[in-house]
Amino acid sequence: MESIRKIVIIAAIFCLLVFGGTFGYMYLENTGFWMGLYLTIITVFTVGYGDIVPIHPSGRIFTVFLVITSVAFVFYTFTKITETVLEGELRGLYKRRKMHRQISKLRDHYIVCGFGRIGKEICKILQEHQRPFLVIEKDEEEIHVLEEMQYMRLQGDGADDEVLLNAGIEHAKGLVSVVASDADNLYITLTARGLNPNLFIMARSSGGHGVQTKLKRAGATKVISPYSIGARRMAHLIVRPTVSDFIDLTMRAGELDLMMEELQVSPTSHLNGKNLIESEIRKKYDVIVVAIKRQDGSMLFNPKPDSVIMVGDILIVLGATDHILGLAKEM
């Protein structure tokens, strides 16, 4: 808006000079409109062909003032253009430096490579669950969208070592590669695994023959094919629609105030060493423990009342949002 205001001011001053000069010559030199306009233009732009000059003393004095005013206008215009350019560059530089400072402070965050349709949905869910993340994107237009959404971002190629290092991959918890092609996802996975051997990497696959194997071989922890998931989802809606609707409701916070969440048991939790009955999770919080994932990766589905809760366990619970948040404070 500020730039538009400056342009309007400059245009208004120029029009005032041109029409003021034209009517001035028409009055003082008895010229016609077009001859007055011609005299004004060559005066304002300091051309001075010499084919026609003011005759009357008043016309010459008017020309002197018009030249001085024109030169001042040129300096004013040049100053505003320079100011606008420098302001834009300085503002962009400030934003980039601020962004780099914020990124350098990130720990246990997620790096999302690609801000297409899938990337946008992933970022939306990460934002809803208050998980720290940043996006790496090459497209200039998408960078502007990220800026408007106030997401942390870096412009560049996710397969570039320097870009990933600037994204704090050494301190990241995970990386999600959802760019357009399998080849790009493969290169990103390979580069990320080389920079951080312990990183959780999720890669998008087109579902083509051998793609999943190659991505796994390159270092992907999980390989997801949106086409395969979409097909399964549609098939389940036909085969078992009620189950599908129930799962949808449990995975979406806010609908019916019901959600499914995973909570990890910390060393300081008072639940350590207690079984499900002793923990009184159901009684105190009205939350159902659907499963328990042990540290060795084993999963207890529908755990029995005497199942013991241990440090490092991940409880998969189902219940009202505020009840789960209350339980999370004790974990």
What is the CATH classification number for the domain harbouring 321?
A: 3.30.70.1450
- State the Cα–Cα distance between residues 179 and 206, nearest whole angstrom: 11
The predicted pLDDT at position 207 comes to 83
Exposure string (b/e) for 46-73, b if CB count within 10 Å is 16 or more?
eeeeeeeebeeeebeebbeebeebbeeb
Residues 277 and 315 in one domain: yes
Position 123 in a domain: yes
The predicted pLDDT at position 247 comes to 74
Among the three residues 197, 229, 261, which one is the final residue of a domain in this structure? 229
Position 87 in a domain: yes
Residues 171 and 189 in one domain: yes
Residues 263 and 297 in one domain: yes
Residues 225 and 261 in one domain: no
What residue numbers bound the domain in which 320 lies? 252-328
Residues 46 and 127 in one domain: no
DSSP structural state of residue 16: H
Residues 72 and 121 in one domain: no
Position 243 in a domain: no
Find where tokens 């008895």 sit. 30
Which position has the higher pLDDT, 247 or 296? Answer: 296
**pLDDT confidence band for 257 (50 / 70 / 90):** low
Per-residue pLDDT tens digits for 220-251: 999 999 888 888 888 988 998 888 877 776 66
Specify the pTM: 0.64
> CA geometry: angle at 13 spanning 48 and 47, to 5°?
10
Q: What is the mean pLDDT of the chain?
A: 85
Per-residue pLDDT tens digits for 165-201: 999 999 999 999 999 899 999 999 999 999 999 999 9
The predicted pLDDT at position 63 comes to 78
Residues 6+ apart with CB under 8 A from 249: 255, 256, 258
Position 239 in a domain: no
Position 128 in a domain: yes
Residues 6+ apart with CB under 8 A from 13: 73, 76
Residues 267 and 218 in one domain: no
Per-residue pLDDT tens digits for 112-129: 999 999 999 999 999 988
**49 pLDDT more than 60:** no
Among the three residues 83, 101, 119, which one is the final residue of a domain in this structure? 101
Ranking 25-39, 72-86, 197-211, 218-232 by mean pLDDT, the lowest is 72-86
**324 pLDDT more than 90:** no
**pLDDT confidence band for 75 (50 / 70 / 90):** confident
What is the CATH classification number for the domain harbouring 144?
A: 3.40.50.720
Among the three residues 101, 123, 139, which one is the final residue of a domain in this structure? 101
Best mean pLDDT range from 252-261, 297-306, 321-330: 297-306
What is the CATH classification number for the domain harbouring 69?
A: 1.10.287.70
> How many domains does the structure of the chain reveal?
3
**253 pLDDT more than 60:** no
